[in-house]
Structure 1
Amino acid sequence: MPADQHTTSLADRFAEGQRSFKGLQLAGSDLARLDLSACEFTDCNLAGADLSASTLTDTSWVSCRMASARLGSIDGVDIRFHNCDLSNTDWTRSRLNASKFSQSKLTGANFADCTLIGADFQQCRLVSAFLPAISFRRKPLSHLDFSDAELRGCDFREAIFDGCSLRGASLRSCRFEGADLRGCDLGPLKLNEASILKGAVISKSQATDLLRNLGLQVM
């Protein structure tokens, strides 16, 4: 079915009152500017689809394939993703307040200029993701892989890291006062990077590794 027919079919079904969709094959489709508020999507394929400027408020996405989808400028307040492939997705300038991402793959995802007030990430792969200036303050962070991610300006004050990784991440201008980093893989840190962790709690083994990485002998 051509992409425009996919769009018409989905919009028509929404207009007719359907709110639950399963197994849709919409890879590469143009779904921009649709209003799909309060819909549920399960096992759908939207890889490479264009959902730009769509209204996705209070939607639920379970086990969906959405790699390289365009999700810029969407209204995604209270949007929920579970066990989805969101690799290389572009969320630029989207409103994602109170959004929830769990057990999902977000490798290379771009969250530039997004509003993410109250957003929650749990058990997600965020390798090489672009997540500047996001507040994780006082949040319990469980099994988040931030390896090689761009995190400049993020607020991690009083956050608790459990099974996480910051290995290779860019931490410029981040704040860690009161953060518990004992459950986090910090990787090798340079002297200027180590100073960013001022005020955080680390374990004795992490402290030893940190000093060793800075060229100091630990006796």
Structure 2
Amino acid sequence: MKIKQPKFTQELKKINILSDNETEFSMIDTTEFENLKLKHYKLNECHFKNVSFINCSFANVDCMDVIFENCDLSNIDFSEGFLIRTIFKNCRLIGSDFTNARIQHTQFINDKANYANLSLSKCSNVIFDNSDFMETSFNETTFKDVTFDNCVLSKCEFLHTSLKDIDISSCEIGGMLLSSDSLKGVIVSPLQAVELSKILGLKIRE
């Protein structure tokens, strides 16, 4: 799958505060933001590294060409946002909220995202790679050109979310909560097929 990477059109300037309405062309390294409530905020061509966001909200964020690296984004609110060409790498996204967000050409790499919420989101050209999404909600999520590679999906919810043509064979899936319409066309390993049959209440004769 081809995915567009974040692109920076000019050298990023180092800053340690965020403006009221938008931040662009900026490098933010080793700092902490607390109690930020920035609705309809714009992030454009930014690199956040070793940054902690404590009790922060970016609802309706417009996030384009942004890298979050080694950041703590636990419980952050990105609901109803638009994320394109964005990377979350080695980040804590525990309890993060992406409800009803549009997520395009975005990568989640080596992240810990337990209890996150991506319900009602629209994911297009998204890579979930080697990340822990245990007990995350993907209910009524739309997937197009999405890959899950070596992820923990145990106890995740995929209610009324089509997994057609998505390969989850390298992932941990124990205790997933799915509806029957979610499973049509999903690609799984033989052992996973047995696990999924148990979830659906099927009895397999030994």
TM bin (shorter chain)? 0.7 to 0.9
| Other-structure match for 2:37 | 50
Which of 52, 55, 70 aligns to 1:83? It is 70
Contact 2:76/2:96 (8 A) holds in 1:
yes
Which of 176, 180, 184 aligns to 2:163? It is 176
Secondary structure in structure 2 of the residue aligned to 1:118:
strand
Once the two structures are TM-superposed, the CA of residue 120 in structure 1 deviates from its matched residue by 2.3
Q: Distance in 2 between matches of 1:158 and 1:99?
A: 16
Once the two structures are TM-superposed, the CA of residue 58 in structure 1 deviates from its matched residue by 1.0
From the superposition, tell whether residues 195 and 185 of structure 1 become closer, same or farther in structure 2 (CA, over 3 Å).
farther
Secondary structure in structure 1 of the residue aligned to 2:88:
strand
Q: What do residues 117-168 of structure 1 show as CA deviations (whole Å, max 9, x unaligned)?
A: 3222222222111212334456443112222212112234564322112222
Which of 9, 13, 35 aligns to 1:19? It is 13
Once the two structures are TM-superposed, the CA of residue 102 in structure 1 deviates from its matched residue by 1.4
The answer to whether the aligner puts 1:209 opposite 2:203 as a matched pair is: no
| Count, aligned residues | 194
Where does the alignment leave 5 or more consecutive residues of structure 1 unmatched? 1-17
* Structure 1: 4+ residue segments shifted above 6 A: none
From the superposition, tell whether residues 195 and 218 of structure 1 become closer, same or farther in structure 2 (CA, over 3 Å).
farther
Which of 37, 42, 59 aligns to 2:46? It is 59
Q: Distance in 1 between matches of 2:66 and 2:167?
A: 28
Q: Give the alignment of 1:44-193 within 5 angstroms.
A: 44-136=31-123, 139-156=126-143, 159-189=146-176, 193=179
Where does the alignment leave 5 or more consecutive residues of structure 2 unmatched? 1-11
Give the counterpart letter for 2:78 in structure 1: W
Give the counterpart letter for 1:211 in structure 2: S
Once the two structures are TM-superposed, the CA of residue 212 in structure 1 deviates from its matched residue by 4.3
- When the two chains are superposed, the root-mean-square deviation of aligned CA atoms in Å is 2.5
From the superposition, tell whether residues 194 and 126 of structure 1 become closer, same or farther in structure 2 (CA, over 3 Å).
farther
More helix by percentage? 1
Task: With a CA cutoff of 8 Å and minimum separation of 6, indicate the structure with the bigger relative contact order.
Answer: 2
Which structure would you say has the larger Rg? 1
| Other-structure match for 1:4 | none
Q: Which moved more, 1:175-184 or 1:45-54?
A: 45-54
Secondary structure in structure 2 of the residue aligned to 1:185:
coil
Q: Distance in 2 between matches of 1:66 and 1:112?
A: 18
Secondary structure in structure 1 of the residue aligned to 2:168:
strand
Secondary structure in structure 2 of the residue aligned to 1:53:
coil
| Other-structure match for 2:7 | none
Q: Distance in 1 between matches of 2:197 and 2:160?
A: 21
Once the two structures are TM-superposed, the CA of residue 199 in structure 1 deviates from its matched residue by 0.7
From the superposition, tell whether residues 51 and 40 of structure 1 become closer, same or farther in structure 2 (CA, over 3 Å).
farther
